[in-house]
A = this chain, B = another copy of it.
Amino acid sequence: MSALTRRLLLERLGAAGGLGAAMLGLRAMGVAWGAAPSPLPALPAGHGVGRKVIVLGAGLAGMVAALELRKAGYAVTVLEATDRAGGRCRTLRTGDVVTETSGATQRVALSPGLYFNPGPARIPHFHASLLRYCREFGVPLEPFINENRAALVQDDAAFAGAPRTLREVQANLRGVVAEIAAKGLARGAMDGAVTVEELERLRDLLRRFGALDRDLAWRGDLRAGAAVWPGAGDAAPEAPPPLDLHQLLRADFWAYNTQHAEEIDQAATMLQVSGGVDRIAAAFAERLREVIVTGAEVTRLRRTETGARVAWRDRTTDTARAEDAHAVVVTLPGPILAELDADISAAKRDALRELLYMPAGKLAFEAPRFWEEQGIYGGISWTSRDSTQVWYPSSGFHASRGVLLGAYIWDEAPGRRFAARDPAGREAAVRADLAVLHPGVDPLLQSAVSVAWGEMPFQKGAWGEYTAAQRGTIYRAIHRAEPPYVFAGEHCSWLPGWMEGAVLSAHAAVAAIATNR
C-alpha cells in the first residue's frame, strides 16, 4: 500500500469517527501498539451449536464465560446461589441488605446518589480485557486517585504515632536514598562501571532524583510540603526540615505503603466505574437475563457418559433440580468448591483447601467531606493499625457529603480480627483508628456499613492469595481443566482479586471447552 493510499484510508476511517475501524486499519498496516490486547476466545459463530454448557456462579468469570460461549452458539445455563448476579462485583446503596453467614444483617442507609463498593473497586489501566467490555457496554469510567501526596501515613512505632503526609515521607525517602547513593559514588561505588563523564551525569541525576543540595546532601525541599506555603507578595515559601532518619527507619511506611503506587498493579492510571462497580456486572447480567438462574445452590457434580450432571437446590422453593451438560464451567470461590460434593480430583480439592481465600473486608461511612477541607481530594491514607487503608472519594468533589472508606483490610490476621467482630464492633474499631488519622471527626461519621468477605455466604473470602511457592505447587492443580469440568475465577489467574483475573480466566475456560470438545 502506498503512503498516500494509506493516509487517505486512515483519514477516512478517522473522520468516520469509528476508533475501532481506524485502529484496525492501523494494526493491519503493522503499526505497533505497545501491549497487545488480550485475546478473546476466537470461536467460530456456530462452534457450540448443539452443545450445552452449565456455568456455576454468576460472578464476573461465570458471566464472561457464558457470554462468550453463547456467542459461539452454545446453549448455556448459569447457576447462581445468591439472589443476584455479580458475585463480589457489588455496589451497596441505600436499602440494600448485607447478611452474613452468622445471620448478622445490616441495612444500608446512605444518602441518595452515594454508594460503596465492598469488593473490587479499581481497574488498572492495563486490564485490557475488562476495559474492552466496559467500552463495548458503555460502562462509564473515571479516574481513581490511587496515590495522593496530601494523604497520610501513620505508624504507631514512629513519630510518636502521629500521621505524616505522604508527600513529606516520599520526598524524604527519595532524599535519603539519593544522598546515600551520592556517598556511595564518592566512595567509588561506580568507578570502572561508568566513565568520568557519566559519573558526573550520575551525580546530577541523584541531585535531581532526591532534590539534593549542590553538595549532594538532603536538607529538605518543598517536595515535602511547606513550612510556609507560597503566597503573594513577600510570602515566599519555606520547606520543612528533613524528617529524623531514625524515626523514618522505625516506621514501616516504606515497607509497602510508599511503594504501593510503583507496583504494576497499582500504578497510575487507575480507573473506577462512575456510579458504582456493579454497573459492569449489571451490563453482563442484562445480556444474560434469560440464562441466569438465581437462588440455585449447586449440591452435586458428577460425570456422565456425555458430560456431567449438575444438581442444585432451588433456594426459593427448596426443591431439588438437576440438568445435564456437555461441559461445566466452575467459577465457585475456592472455599466453596473445596467442600462441594463433586468428582473433581483429590489433588484439586487438596490444593483448594490449602489456598488461603483472603478474609479481606471493608467498612464505609457517610460523612460531610471534612477531608477536602484539609486539601485531601481522593487517594488513600495508611495506618499501621488494623484499618490499614482509608479511601477518600475520587469524584463528587465539594459535594456536601461523600462515602469515606474507613478501612480496607486485607492482611490475614487483621482480616480475621475484623471478621470476628459483629458490625457494631467493627465500626467501633475503625472509628478508633480513624481518630488517629483524623482527630475530632468521629461525630461526623455516620451510616457505617461493613463487609467481611470471609463471612459472606457462598463467597467465604475475597480472593485466592498465593504465596510465591504455591504458584509452583498448588496453583496448577487449582486452575487446570478436568474435562468435562473447566475452572475459572480470579483464583485461576495471575491477577487474583482483580476483575481482570476473572475475565482472563473465563476466556481461558472458554478456550479449554473448545479444545476439549
Contacts and interface: CB of A to CB of B under 8 A. Distances in A.
Contacts of A378: 143, 269
Contact of A268 (B126, B368, B379): B379
A308 B179 CA distance: 56
Contacts of A480: 233
Nearest to A246: B198
A472 to B, nearest CB: 10
A159 interface: no
Interface residues of A, number: 132
A170 B268 CA distance: 12
A264 B222 contact: yes
A508 interface: yes
A17 interface: yes
Contacts of A113: none
Interface of A: 6-7, 10-11, 14-15, 17-19, 22-23, 26, 29, 31-35, 37-38, 125-126, 128, 131, 134-135, 138, 140-143, 145, 147-150, 165, 167, 170-171, 173-174, 177-178, 180-185, 187-190, 193-194, 198, 201-202, 204-206, 208-211, 222-223, 225-226, 229-237, 245-246, 249-250, 254-256, 259, 262-264, 267-269, 271, 367-370, 373-379, 394-395, 397-398, 400-401, 439-444, 446, 471, 476, 479-480, 488, 492-495, 501, 504-505, 507-508
B493 A173 contact: no
Contacts of A18: 368, 400
B145 A268 contact: yes
A232 B374 contact: no
Nearest to A206: B177
B443 A11 contact: yes
A229 B126 contact: yes
A479 B249 contact: no
A416 B356 CA distance: 61
A376 to B, nearest CB: 7
Nearest to A171: B262
A361 to B, nearest CB: 25
13 contacts: A18-B368, A125-B377, A126-B375, A173-B209, A174-B262, A177-B178, A180-B181, A180-B202, A194-B245, A201-B250, A205-B254, A233-B508, A271-B377
Contacts of A37: 373
Contact of A493 (B131, B208, B232): B232
Given A267-B223, A269-B378, A232 B177 contact: no
Contacts of A471: 236
Report, nearest first, the 5 A-B pairs whose CB atoms are least far apart: A184-B184, A10-B443, A31-B440, A230-B494, A183-B189
A495 B187 CA distance: 40
Given A245-B194, A400-B17, A22 B444 contact: yes
A439 B26 CA distance: 10
A346 to B, nearest CB: 21
Contacts of A222: 263-264
A6 to B, nearest CB: 8
B501 A401 contact: no
Contacts of A271: 377, 397
A478 B32 CA distance: 52
A269 B148 contact: yes
Nearest to A503: B232
B189 A19 contact: no
Contacts of A444: 10, 14, 22
Contacts of A34: 150, 165, 374-375
Contacts of A171: 262
A464 B440 CA distance: 42
Contact of A501 (B205, B226, B232, B398): B232
A504 B231 contact: yes
A73 to B, nearest CB: 23
A17 B211 contact: no
Contacts of A29: 440
A254 B178 CA distance: 13
Contacts of A395: 142-143
A195 to B, nearest CB: 9
Nearest to A264: B222
A143 B143 contact: yes
